[in-house]
């Protein structure tokens, strides 16, 4: 199993970036997909999640941490096995390494995987 993030970089405050995470080696549509981030010197924190196709009643449900609501949008393309994080109106405090995290819809004991991370730096 491999999760590969891309799309990070240096952006000015108020700017936008779109992160991508492409999975291989797992039944992507059966996995809840999440984005986490780890700011410099701080703990890793959850950013956003999107429910797998296995949760019929909640398929596609999007959930966000309060500090990114209204600015970040998570989406997924099951055909491409890719999850995206569109980040708008970026702030210096959004500077972090962003990680993709996949959790099996049946529970983490059935599979959970991290990507290697991609650096996002928001600075003028």
pLDDT tens digits for range 59-90: 567 788 888 888 999 989 999 999 999 999 99
pLDDT tens digits for range 11-34: 999 999 999 999 999 999 899 999
pLDDT tens digits for range 30-57: 999 999 999 999 999 999 998 876 544 4
SS3 letters across the chain: CEEEEECCEEECCCCCEEEEEEEECCCHHHEEEEEEEECCCCCCEEEEEECCCCCHHHCCCEEECHHHCCCEEEEEECCCCEEEEEECCCCHHHCEEEEEEEEECCCHHHCEEECCCEEEEECC
């Amino acid at each position: 199993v491999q999760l590969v993030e891309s799309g990070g970089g240096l952006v000015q405050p108020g700017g936008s970036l779109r992160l991508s995470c492409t999975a291989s080696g797992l039944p992507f549509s059966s996995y809840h997909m999440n984005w986490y981030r780890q700011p410099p010197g701080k703990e890793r924190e959850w950013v956003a999640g999107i429910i797998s196709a296995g949760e019929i009643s909640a398929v596609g449900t999007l959930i966000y941490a309060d500090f990114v609501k209204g600015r970040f949008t998570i989406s997924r393309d099951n055909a491409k096995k890719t999850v995206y994080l569109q980040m708008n109106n970026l702030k210096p405090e959004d500077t972090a390494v962003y990680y993709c995290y996949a959790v099996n819809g049946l529970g983490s004991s059935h599979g959970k995987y991290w990507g290697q991370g991609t650096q996002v730096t928001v600075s003028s």
